[in-house]
Structure 1
Amino acid sequence: MKIQANAVVGLTYELKVSKLEDEIESTPFSVEIRDEEDPFYFLFGQSGLPEKFEELLEGREDSEDFSFTLSVEEAYGEQDDELIITLPKDQFSGDRGFSPEMLEEGNFLPLMDENGYSMQAKVVKNLGEQLILDFNHPLVGFNLHFEGKIIEVREATKEELKHGHVHGEHGAHD
């Protein structure tokens, strides 16, 4: 089966990132490896990944190798300064599930938006009574270099399509 809308896709890959500074691209460095022990499974067309990522996989088949690069614009774009905000530190208290260690600079806070969707923010600076948080995607501003292999392509079940995610061994368990 070829990768197409509503197919379940399983991949192994290495993701490297690079940045363009003064018109010179940095040497790509590895930030994530998904191997046979921990493959990445998603519902094609509903992955939440950059559109270009799925575009470059469409039509490929099981056991096929792939290698491509997404530019900053095709991936997560440039940093949006409006997504860097200052919030009162008391919103991140122990009774809300936050420990002092979680609020250290450089850490990512697991948060939820008003609709109950998971999101994260990086602690940029702890100002004592306030925190500066960055809600940009962690890979914003980077070119993404993917190299990997398609390990499975199958039709999604009606239940997976209804729920919008993969079920079973490599997906949600519900």
Structure 2
Amino acid sequence: MKIQENAVVGLTYELKVSKIEDEIESAPFSVEIRDEEDPFYFLFGQSGLPEKFEELLAGNAEGEDFAFDISVEDAYGALDDELVISLPSDQFSGERGFSPEMLEEGNFLPLMDENGYSMQAKILKNMGDSLLLDFNHPLVGFDLHFEGKIIEVREATKEELEHGHVHGEHGEHE
């Protein structure tokens, strides 16, 4: 079976990223490896990854290797300054489940929006009475370089299509 809409896809891959600054591209460096011990499974059309990722995998079959690049524009885009905000430090108290170690610069805070959806923010600066937080995706501003192998392609079950995610050994359980 080839990768197509509503197929369940299992992959192993290494993701490397690079960035262009002052017209000089950095050497790609590895940020994620999904191997046979921890493969990435998703419902094609609903991976949550940039659209270009799925577009470049479409039509491939189980057992095939892949390697492709996704530019900043087709990945997570450029930094959005409006997603860098300052919030009062008292919103991140111990009573709310935050420890002092969590509030160190460079850490990612696990947060929820007003609708209960998980999100994260990187602490850019702890200014004592406030935190400067970056809500941009961690890979914003980077070109993505994927290299991997398609380890499984199968038809999604009716339940997987209804729920919008993979069930079973490599997905969520009902």
TM interval, shorter chain, is over 0.9
Match of 1:116 in 2: 116
SS in 2 for 1:46: coil
Shift of 1:162: 1.2
Shift of 1:114: 1.3
5+ residue gaps, structure 1? none
Match of 2:64 in 1: 64
Aligned residues: 174
1:151-170 correspondence runs (5 A): 151-170=151-170
Shift of 1:138: 0.2
Match of 1:11 in 2: 11
5+ residue gaps, structure 2? none
TM-score of the superposed pair, with normalisation by structure 2? 0.98
Shift of 1:166: 0.9
Shift of 1:24: 2.1
User: In 2, distance between residues paired with 1:110 and 1:45?
Assistant: 26
Shift of 1:93: 1.2
SS in 2 for 1:159: helix
User: In 2, distance between residues paired with 1:49 and 1:80?
Assistant: 18
TM-score of the superposed pair, with normalisation by structure 1? 0.98
Match of 1:141 in 2: 141
User: In 2, distance between residues paired with 1:52 and 1:158?
Assistant: 26
Match of 1:87 in 2: 87
Counterpart of 1:104, as a letter, is E
Q: State the identity %.
A: 84
User: In 2, distance between residues paired with 1:170 and 1:140?
Assistant: 27
Match of 1:44 in 2: 44
Shift of 1:173: 2.2
User: In 2, distance between residues paired with 1:7 and 1:97?
Assistant: 39
User: In 1, distance between residues paired with 2:85 and 2:23?
Assistant: 29
Deviations 1:12-36 (A, max 9, x none): 0000000112222111111111000
Q: Runs of 4+ in structure 1 displaced over 6 angstroms?
A: none
SS in 1 for 2:73: coil
